[in-house]
């Protein structure tokens, strides 16, 4: 007896870090067919590549010869520094893949025949993900670089961000016009932020700038006003990209990655949004488009209610405001992932509260462990097609002028 005709044993019985992205994501094709996603303009406003794979190349873009020498000596002499020199990458993040249960988080170690060097390989991997998920344009960010706001030496963090930005604009963006980015700002140094915008704002593929949210700077400090003015004048959005922190005053009490991840990816943006709104930054720069990235959505109605509640009693603490905090919050933009969809009624009221059809932009966060496919938006039963088209791409088209 033998296997019946029409039955095929899958070549990949178990998906591992070595499986091709297109195969990992093959089931996304079912959504493409079911929802006709090929007919939608899909922009993914938050995805990642692994910059540490190209770390030795990136470090050669360090401006300062002394720091470059430090980096090269570290890579030469320290057995494990080849992909980490000068970086503050936190070892706790290796818990992200849930002990090998979610392999693509740990590595995309698949074959990429013919790719020369890290940047070329990155572009190949991004193209595979876009193809598998029917994405038209993808905004690509780094990963461990998102932690540089916690670097013990802020001047090193600034230098690393500058080197990374130069590398990304020189090596990655020119290879694929469908890749876009919002470049990280060296936020510890307001002057360097201005220089960064000046240097890269007109570079093809740069569609905005990013504050990595794990940091201890008050975003309302006067030193940042020239930066916000500059971005507003140039029509470039500012994004706040959340990140993990397992060692802040609250998460350091937590014994599970789940706990620290659930909280820290949100509390960093809660902090910045509070300073942003209560200090009236939207009143000062009404044309500055603000995007909150990778904190999910469930926190936003909480912030609206909490800040309104206190504002009504303490108007003198927020004198620049001319309307309740929730109104400003509703006028800002949000990326969708990780969209907490555990209760239909709660999700529906969240989407209504934030005016999702005009403020929400789809993001995958691929290849992270809690990524979302476009089908997740298409499947929402209480949104009409117009809203879904906006969320999947049309709002991003408007916000970024794509």
Residues in the site for other proteins, rule: CB under 8 A?
1-4, 6-10, 12-15, 24, 26-28, 30-31, 98, 100-104, 369-373, 375-376
Q: Are 117 and 90 in contact (CB under 8 A)?
A: no
- From first CA to last CA, the distance across the chain in angstroms is 58
Choice between 176 and 370, CB closer to other proteins: 370
The candidate with the shortest Cα–Cα distance to 243, out of 220, 222, 263, 223, is: 263
Q: How far is the CB of 125 from other proteins (least distance, A)?
A: 17
Choice between 25 and 356, CB closer to other proteins: 25
360-361 and 290-293 beta bridge pairing: unpaired
Backbone angles phi, psi at 107, to 5 degrees: -165, 145
Backbone angles phi, psi at 400, to 5 degrees: -100, 0
Q: How far is the CB of 78 from other proteins (least distance, A)?
A: 33
Choice between 34 and 216, CB closer to other proteins: 34
176: which 2 tokens? 């694929």
Q: How far is the CB of 338 from other proteins (least distance, A)?
A: 9
Choice between 98 and 320, CB closer to other proteins: 98
Choice between 260 and 399, CB closer to other proteins: 260
Choice between 44 and 188, CB closer to other proteins: 44
Q: How far is the CB of 394 from other proteins (least distance, A)?
A: 22
Alpha-helix residue ranges (DSSP H) falling in 149-256: 154-167, 190-200, 225-234
Q: Are 328 and 277 in contact (CB under 8 A)?
A: yes
Q: How far is the CB of 17 from other proteins (least distance, A)?
A: 10
Choice between 188 and 365, CB closer to other proteins: 365
Angstrom distance (rounded) from CA 319 to CA 324: 11
Q: How far is the CB of 373 from other proteins (least distance, A)?
A: 6
- The CB-based long-range contact list for 200-205 (8 Å cut-off, 24+ gap) reads 200/165, 200/169, 201/234, 201/236, 203/169, 203/173, 204/173, 204/174, 204/177, 205/169, 205/173, 205/174, 205/177, 205/179, 205/180, 205/181
Q: How far is the CB of 188 from other proteins (least distance, A)?
A: 34
Choice between 328 and 366, CB closer to other proteins: 366
Q: Count other C-beta atoms under 10 Å from residue 102's C-beta.
A: 16
Angstrom distance (rounded) from CA 268 to CA 69: 34
DSSP category for residue 333: E
Choice between 136 and 370, CB closer to other proteins: 370
Q: How far is the CB of 374 from other proteins (least distance, A)?
A: 10
Q: How far is the CB of 12 from other proteins (least distance, A)?
A: 6
CA angle 252, 256, 259 (to 5 degrees): 75
Taking the mean position of all CA atoms in its chain, how far away is CA 272? 16
SS3 254: coil
Choice between 4 and 116, CB closer to other proteins: 4
Q: How far is the CB of 28 from other proteins (least distance, A)?
A: 8
CA 261 → CA 34, 245, 246, 340, distances in Å? 33, 7, 8, 14
């Amino acid at each position: 007896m033998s296997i019946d005709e029409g039955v095929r044993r899958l070549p990949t019985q178990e998906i591992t870090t070595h499986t091709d992205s297109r195969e990992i994501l093959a089931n996304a094709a079912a959504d493409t067919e079911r929802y006709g996603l090929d007919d939608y303009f899909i922009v993914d406003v938050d995805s990642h590549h692994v910059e540490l794979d190209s770390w030795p190349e990136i470090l050669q873009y360090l401006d300062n010869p002394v720091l470059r020498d430090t980096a090269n000596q570290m890579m030469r002499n320290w057995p494990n520094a080849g992909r980490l020199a000068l970086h503050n990458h936190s070892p706790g993040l290796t818990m992200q893949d849930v002990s090998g249960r979610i392999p693509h988080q740990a590595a995309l170690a698949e074959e990429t025949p013919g790719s020369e060097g890290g940047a070329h390989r990155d572009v190949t991997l991004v193209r595979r993900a876009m193809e598998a998920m029917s994405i038209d344009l993808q905004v690509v960010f780094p990963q461990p670089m998102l932690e540089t706001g916690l670097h013990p030496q802020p001047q090193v963090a600034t230098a690393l961000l500058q080197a990374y930005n130069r590398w990304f604009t020189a090596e990655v963006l020119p290879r694929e016009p469908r890749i876009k980015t919002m470049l990280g700002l060296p936020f510890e140094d307001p002057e360097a932020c201005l220089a960064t915008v000046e240097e890269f704002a007109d570079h093809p593929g740069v569609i905005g700038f990013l504050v990595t949210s794990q940091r201890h700077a008050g975003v309302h400090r006067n030193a940042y006003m020239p930066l916000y003015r500059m971005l507003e004048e140039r029509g470039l959005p500012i994004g706040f990209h959340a990140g993990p922190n397992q060692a802040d005053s609250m998460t350091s009490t937590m014994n599970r990655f789940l706990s620290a991840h659930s909280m820290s990816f949100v509390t960093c943006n809660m902090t910045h949004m509070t300073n942003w709104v209560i200090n009236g930054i939207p009143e000062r720069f009404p044309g500055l488009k603000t995007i909150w990235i990778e904190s999910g959505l469930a926190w936003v109605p909480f912030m609206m209610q909490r800040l309104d509640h206190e504002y009504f009693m303490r108007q003198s603490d927020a004198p620049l405001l001319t309307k309740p905090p929730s109104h400003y919050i509703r006028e800002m933009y949000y990326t969708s992932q990780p969209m907490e969809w555990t209760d239909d009624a709660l999700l529906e009221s969240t989407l209504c509260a934030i005016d999702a059809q005009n403020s929400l932009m789809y993001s995958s966060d691929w290849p992270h462990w809690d990524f979302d496919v476009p089908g997740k938006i298409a499947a929402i039963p209480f949104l009409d097609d117009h809203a879904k088209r906006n969320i999947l791409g049309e709002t991003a088209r408007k916000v970024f002028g794509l």
